[in-house]
Structure formats: structure tokens, C-alpha cells
Amino acid sequence: MKNTDMVVVGGGAAGMAASIEAACAGAEVVLIDENERPGGQLFKQIHKFFGSEVHRAGIRGIHIGRDLLKEAEEAGVQVRLNTVVYGFFPDKCLGLMCNQHTEELQAKMIILATGASENVLAFPGWTLPGVMGAGAAQTLINIHRVLPGRSVLMVGAGNVGLIVSYQLLQAGAEVVAVVEGLPTISGYGVHASKIRRAGVPIFTGHTILRAEGKESVERVVIAAVDKSWQPLAGTEKAFEVDTVCLAVGLSPLAELAWMAGCQFIYIPEIGGWVPVHDENMETSVPGIYVAGDLAGIEEASTAMEEGRLAGLAAAEALGCLSSKDGRARKAEVWERLAALRIGSFGHGRALAMEKILRAKGVG
């Protein structure tokens, strides 16, 4: 069986950042991604990021993805694409599959950065062609340059729903409305303003009742809901659309962490079941770290910082960094993470992180 210093599973923002830090510190790093090309969500993000210069504010996700990939290659990271980690075996042994061939790879340190997947909302007609995840629509328009349909109903007014609505408009689709079950939108105001200015109504306190059509979506019916999400009679509105996008949250892709025996904690605000980790991003299993959306749904900027943190911590544990250097470098990242988790949006996440740290302390 082959072995290596460090395996990073998942080549998105967090995974690439982790690989770069660890490889620059001198570790032998293998970065594994199941897709044809790494970058995860970054290659779908055509809008400009917020934040400070170190978080590459004003740069589009697609360009950040491209830059990180170059840095990883220059740092000597071994990138294995089209490769799935299908199993987690004792002694930090991973089962890899590529093109119907399997192999095992053992690592001293493992960083799981497998990201998150879209949640779904079930309603009559949800299995009809034309109903898809908002992320799915984003993949189609921004990566594959094909429209999912001509007219869209967006379900969910969090950041994903608002951003993808705008991107659908940029791609040439019509967004007839956004529906959001909560009384207020949960995404950033700046995104909501952009689509409102473009004439897209946002119906808060509304949900989708059903999608109708013979072979694919032809029409949807929405309605206002009360506090218990029950539809209010007489408030139905129908729209002729051929596409429904579901932007109803993300959940960590945590199968490998469960398989590895990591302890989990349930925090709905950041995606539900998340692996418990300490301030070094290390889980309850020594030598296994987590970073990015897997460790709690957040943003690309925090994903990159958590990736850096995990990479540094794992490199230090390998002996590639002295504990003095490790501490100093990690302190910089902790400071940047704290700065990202301020304000009304960041505060909730900061509280969630505190819950996680307390759980690790106890467990």
C-alpha cells in the first residue's frame, strides 16, 4: 500500500488552501478531487467577492480558483483528479477509485474538505424535469454555458437564491419571482437590491405549493404561509415557468467523517450535523482535520482560512513546522477568521463555532 504525509480530500477553496500551506511547509501532499478539475464551487462564482485584500475582495471566484490551482501546482502538491475516496479504513487508510480501478493510500494526516451539497424541498411535482437545485442551474449556466430553461421561479432568498437569480438574468433567462418562506430575506441586501432593480419581485412569507406539467415544468403555484408554514387560503398565485430552482440551504458532505468515527454536533444554523473540531480544525480523531463547508456552512473566504489553518496545523503535527512558527502563522489566520465573523451575519457563525469548540473540549 502506498503512503504519504498528508492527503487532502476535496480540491475546493478549503482543500486547495490547505494543500498549499502544507506543501509550502515541506509536507508531501496529495490532493484528491472527484471532478475533472479542482476548484469546487469557485468556478461557478462569477461575481466579485467581498472582504479585504487578503481575501481577494473585488476578484471573481472563477479567478481565485484559477490562482489557487496555480499556487498548488507550484508548491508541489500532487493533484489526483477524477478520483473518488470511496472508503475510510483503519489506520487512516483511504480507498481511492479512479476509472474503475481502486487503490489504497495511507496518510499520516488527513484533511477532509469535501464541502457541502444542496438541500431539497419536496412538493407535488418536484420530480418533474425543470425542477433543480439552484447550484445545478449555476453549474449549467456558468460552467457549461447552457440555460436550464427560459423562465424561472427561485425558491429561497438566502445568498445562493439571490446570487443565482442574478446570474440567471445575466445568462439571459427570465426570473419571474423569488419566494421565501421566512418573513424576511436572509441573504445580503446588496444582492436583493440588484435583482429587485431588474424587476424581479421577492415574495417573502410565501412558499411553492406545486409544480405542474405533463413531461416537464410548465407552471407553478405559490401561496402565502402562516408562521407554521401552512398555506393561507385565497393567496394562491400561478406563474408560467419552465424551471424551478431550489435554494433551500446546504448540508455538509460528511460521509467520510462519519465513517472515520468523528464526533458530530447538530447545529442547524450552519448546516445540521457538523464534525466537532478544535481551533486547529482537528476532529475528535487525532490526525483527521476538517475545513470549509464540511466544518459548517459559511463562505469561500472562511473556507480558505480554515483550509490554511488545517494545513498549518497538520504540517506542524508532522514536524514540518516548529511549534513556534506554527503558533505564529496560525495566530494570523485566527485573527483573519475572527474579522470575517463579525457583523449581523458573522455573529451567528461565530456563536456556532463557539458551540463546536465547547463540544470538542468536553468530548
By the criterion CB under 8 A, which residues form the site for other proteins?
A: 34-36, 46, 60, 84-89, 95, 97, 100-102, 117-120, 122-124, 126-133, 135-137, 139-142, 144-150, 170-172, 210, 215-216, 251, 255-256, 258-259, 264-266, 268, 272-273
CB 271 within 8 A of CB 293: yes
Q: How far is the CB of 315 from other proteins (least distance, A)?
A: 27
User: CA 264, CA 294: separation in Å to the nearest integer?
Assistant: 11
How many Å from the N-terminal Cα to the C-terminal Cα in the chain? 32
Q: How far is the CB of 108 from other proteins (least distance, A)?
A: 21
Q: How far is the CB of 189 from other proteins (least distance, A)?
A: 22
Q: How far is the CB of 153 from other proteins (least distance, A)?
A: 16
CB hemisphere CA count around 18 (13 angstroms)? 39
Q: How far is the CB of 17 from other proteins (least distance, A)?
A: 21
CB 5 within 8 A of CB 314: no
Decide whether 68 or 256 has the Cβ nearer to other proteins.
Answer: 256
- CB-based burial of residue 35 (10 Å sphere; 0-12 exposed, 13-18 middle, 19+ buried)? middle
Decide whether 1 or 344 has the Cβ nearer to other proteins.
Answer: 1
User: CA 6, CA 314: separation in Å to the nearest integer?
Assistant: 8
Decide whether 212 or 279 has the Cβ nearer to other proteins.
Answer: 212
Decide whether 16 or 254 has the Cβ nearer to other proteins.
Answer: 254
β-strands 78-80, 131-133 pairing:
unpaired
CB 328 within 8 A of CB 291: no
| Phi (first) and psi of residue 113, to 5 degrees | -135, 55
Please state, as a whole number, how many other Cβ atoms lie within 10 Å of the Cβ of residue 153: 27
| Phi (first) and psi of residue 291, to 5 degrees | -160, 155
SS3 per-residue string spanning 37-56: CCCHHHHHCCCECCCCHHHC
Nearest to 256 by CA among 220, 278, 221, 289: 289
Decide whether 268 or 361 has the Cβ nearer to other proteins.
Answer: 268
Q: How far is the CB of 84 from other proteins (least distance, A)?
A: 5
Q: How far is the CB of 268 from other proteins (least distance, A)?
A: 7
- CB-based burial of residue 301 (10 Å sphere; 0-12 exposed, 13-18 middle, 19+ buried)? buried
Decide whether 259 or 342 has the Cβ nearer to other proteins.
Answer: 259
Decide whether 259 or 338 has the Cβ nearer to other proteins.
Answer: 259
Q: How far is the CB of 75 from other proteins (least distance, A)?
A: 27
Nearest to 155 by CA among 132, 171, 174, 138: 132
Decide whether 168 or 333 has the Cβ nearer to other proteins.
Answer: 168
Q: How far is the CB of 113 from other proteins (least distance, A)?
A: 15
Q: Which residues contact 202 (CB under 8 A, 6 or more apart)?
A: 157, 177, 178, 179, 180, 185, 192, 195, 196
Q: How far is the CB of 278 from other proteins (least distance, A)?
A: 20
Decide whether 92 or 330 has the Cβ nearer to other proteins.
Answer: 92
Decide whether 99 or 344 has the Cβ nearer to other proteins.
Answer: 99
β-strands 219-224, 237-239 pairing:
antiparallel
